[in-house]
Structure 1
Amino acid sequence: MTAAPLVAALLGTLGAAGAAAAEFPPIALPPGFRVELVADGLGAPRMLALDASGALLVSIPSQGRIVALPVAPRPDQLRSSVTVASGLRLPHGLAVRGRHLWVAETGRVLRFRYDPTTHSAIEPVTIVPDLPPGAHHWTRSIAFGPDGRLFVAIGSSCDICRETDRRRAAIVSYAPDGSNERLVARGLRNPVGLAFEPTTGALWTTVNERDWRDGRAPPDFLALVRDGADYGWPDCYAHEGVVAPDPEFRGVSDCRDVTLPPVAFPPHSAPLGLAFYAGTRFPAAYRGNVFVALHGSRAELRAVGYKIVRVVLGAGRRPRVEDFATAWRVGDRVWGRPVDVLAGRDGALYVSDDHGGRVLRISAVP
């Protein structure tokens, strides 16, 4: 489907909306979709979650804060932010379960008692006290599985090396009280997004591969997480459907037991958040698709990413990747960098942008 640029109609408070509109990204979407500004001036928002009231919860690691964006009277109105928790150490991953909010800092996972009517988080309890420290990859993402266990994504401490802590470059899981730690999958250099497929309960993750500078390999990827699987790093990588030894790292693996990821993205695309769409507001062809935020390459590299893609999955068919929301970067002008994608209860997609300090809403035109 051909993309067509749509610029949001910012209909909130005139002063705030007018200021935001001047720098609003010229996002291109397929026909029949529109994008609107939910909130701006947030600094560098990262991961998203929904509370029981429908408010968006947003982590802002650089400020050590979690904020709530309560539901506005109309979808096209700007939302005001409410501080939920502050004084945190690089809070990133968020999860809401029952009456609690879970927050993943770099070195631990906290659980707060959370009130969705006042958006207040109190009585923090340290659930996992000793995650590996920041070093190179500092983000910690979390998600609860259908089995009730807490899954944590932890990146490597380096670009390419032999880790001494088996929890590095891996996904681990815990009982809700932080006990019974299990290694779920390894060889994932920097896993960031975590999402469970609604129909099967299968876990998927986005992975940022090593920093080769020629832009040819290895690709970043989207992986179906299999219990006990090894995805190759640092000894091996997947490229063009084949798993091969890394020629710049003299590893010990022959790569025979490495799991091949089903979806590859161009090197340095930096896939971060992902969300399965199970709503009914998008056209039927979009249901069951997974949307992935490609944060984009660093300034000194060839420009790739800076967009949201949809991955069409199907039993017995090779996954298909298509552009969905593009033009976050036009030439040398960077308008934004998408981080997380969340499917809202209203059938829209919500997107955080840590370059523009915004949260956006993408919906189907009625």
Structure 2
Amino acid sequence: MSPLAQARLSTTLATVLAVTLLVAAQLGALRSSAAEPPPIVLPSGFRVEVVTAGLGVPRMLALDPSGALLVSIPNQGRVVALPEVSRPDRLRSAVTVVAGLRLPHGLAVRDGHLWVAETGRVLRFRYDATTRAASDPLVIVPDLPPGAHHWTRSIAFGPDGRLYVAIGSSCDVCREGDRRRATIVSYNPDGSNERLVATGLRNPVGLAFDPRSHALWATVNERDWRAGGAPPDFLAAVREGANYGWPDCYAQGGVFAPDREFRGTHECRGLTLPALELPPHSAPLGLAFYTGTQFPPRYRDNLFVALHGSRAELPPAGYKIVRVVLAAGQPRRVEDFATGWRAGDRVWGRPVDVLVGRDGALYVSDDHGGRVLRIVYAP
């Protein structure tokens, strides 16, 4: 090889090496950045860790028998698993469990099966927690009212063994044609025997059962675009047969008022008040009773609620997780638990769902940052 060719080869190899090192450094920086949690403020003794990042729009969480987290990613039509989430030493890679779904949202695992709520139906899969493989899909509820203004469908199994499904309204405020809109309904695990549980719930999202009383609790998002900062979003301690007011009436300050912008004819009688009013447009989504032992004892049986956050209202509401302290099954006070997802115009993330893991940590999905986070007590 001539000296000129050798020089050219050396230059080419040096360039390739430099580019390789640069790409590796950039990937390392990206991984390091992804591993850095957002600037979340927690009570003394708590810390937050990143379980995984780059998930797109992660929404609802479920726990499988092995302790792995299952996560719905509606914009990708997938449900993924995150194994060994209790180990904080590295980011977890997501394993696809099911793909090709239409806006999957709610998840539930029970008796060797995985239930997935798409926007217009509920499917059941055989689920192997060892291989994290889902197979033999069966549509058990084929005809939920799909899409429209509120497309999410959340699910939870009750202590009675029935499957509960939250279905939002098709509009901001209107008279619905389908009686299942703006309700919670329940089914047998095979999708039979539909029952209307509660009505007048404009957009119920999170569902959780009190481990002591077995009462069903739900987060509810109330009207948008109404003048005067009303009505409040709320938590409902759901009673079978109860009507919570929408679209005719809303609760504020412990009393019902007619929604005069809607010009409904309801006299606001015979309605059920919320268990707890929350700031208007704070968008409460996931909720979970703390049943672990990793947190201090004072947190036991408290209710954690993810406030996803307002989009257009000023000052902004939500963008945090609150702790609801209960006494005799009723809310006694509300405290900020995790804040800092938004600072001024800078939005770091928006919490969606919360779940207590087998390790007692609190897991949080963030559909703005594409992350799943882990909050632990480590004084």
Letter matched to residue 245 of structure 1: P
Letter matched to residue 315 of structure 1: A
Structure 2 CA distance for partners of 1:73 and 1:243, relative to 1, 3 Å? closer
Matches within 5 A, 1:326-365: 326-365=339-378
Structure 2 CA distance for partners of 1:72 and 1:341, relative to 1, 3 Å? closer
Alpha-carbon displacement from aligned partner over 1:216-248 (angstroms, at most 9, x marks no partner)? 210000000000000000001000111111121
Report the TM-score, using the length of structure 1 for normalisation. Answer: 0.93
Distance 2:134 2:35 in 1: 33
Distance 2:210 2:154 in 1: 17
Distance 1:158 1:272 in 2: 18
Distance 2:331 2:108 in 1: 31
Give the equivalent residue in structure 1 for 2:168. 155
Maintained 8 Å contact 1:69/1:82: yes
Give the equivalent residue in structure 2 for 1:32. 45
Matches within 5 A, 1:233-252: 233-252=246-265
Distance 1:279 1:233 in 2: 35
Maintained 8 Å contact 2:60/2:107: yes
- Determine which of 139, 145, 148 is the counterpart of 2:158: 145
Distance 2:71 2:128 in 1: 15
Q: Does 1:285 pair with 2:298? A: yes
Letter matched to residue 85 of structure 1: V
Maintained 8 Å contact 1:272/1:294: yes
Report the TM-score, using the length of structure 2 for normalisation. Answer: 0.90
Aligned-residue offset at 1:78: 1.3
Greater CA deviation, 340-349 or 205-214? 205-214
Letter matched to residue 289 of structure 1: N
Maintained 8 Å contact 1:113/1:123: yes
Letter matched to residue 184 of structure 1: V
Distance 2:338 2:289 in 1: 16
Distance 1:79 1:21 in 2: 10
Greater CA deviation, 107-116 or 245-254? 245-254
Give the equivalent residue in structure 1 for 2:320. 307
Q: Does 1:210 pair with 2:210? A: no
Q: Does 1:113 pair with 2:138? A: no
Maintained 8 Å contact 1:37/1:76: no
Distance 1:170 1:316 in 2: 23
Distance 1:54 1:73 in 2: 9
Distance 2:28 2:60 in 1: 28
Alpha-carbon displacement from aligned partner over 1:164-207 (angstroms, at most 9, x marks no partner)? 11100000000111111000000000000000011111000000
Aligned-residue offset at 1:252: 2.5
Give the equivalent residue in structure 1 for 2:33. 19
Q: Which has the higher helix share?
A: 2
Structure 2: runs of 5 or more not aligned: 1-26
Aligned-residue offset at 1:339: 0.2
Distance 1:333 1:91 in 2: 29
Maintained 8 Å contact 1:53/1:116: yes
Maintained 8 Å contact 1:47/1:340: yes
Maintained 8 Å contact 2:323/2:334: yes
Distance 1:244 1:299 in 2: 24
Q: 2:197 aligns to what SS in structure 1? A: strand
Aligned-residue offset at 1:77: 2.4
Distance 2:125 2:331 in 1: 41
Structure 1: runs of 5 or more not aligned: 1-12
Percent identity reads 77
Q: Which has the larger radius of gyration?
A: 2
Aligned-residue offset at 1:317: 6.1
Maintained 8 Å contact 1:215/1:302: no
Maintained 8 Å contact 1:94/1:103: yes
Greater CA deviation, 293-302 or 260-269? 293-302
Give the equivalent residue in structure 2 for 1:99. 112
Alpha-carbon displacement from aligned partner over 1:238-274 (angstroms, at most 9, x marks no partner)? 0011111112122222111110012111100000000
Q: When the two structures are aligned, how many residues end up with a matched partner?
A: 353
Maintained 8 Å contact 1:215/1:267: no
Structure 2 CA distance for partners of 1:318 and 1:66, relative to 1, 3 Å? closer
Give the equivalent residue in structure 2 for 1:6. none
Aligned-residue offset at 1:16: 5.5
Distance 2:238 2:124 in 1: 25
Structure 2 CA distance for partners of 1:340 and 1:316, relative to 1, 3 Å? closer
Give the equivalent residue in structure 1 for 2:91. 78
Structure 2 CA distance for partners of 1:73 and 1:58, relative to 1, 3 Å? closer
Letter matched to residue 273 of structure 1: G
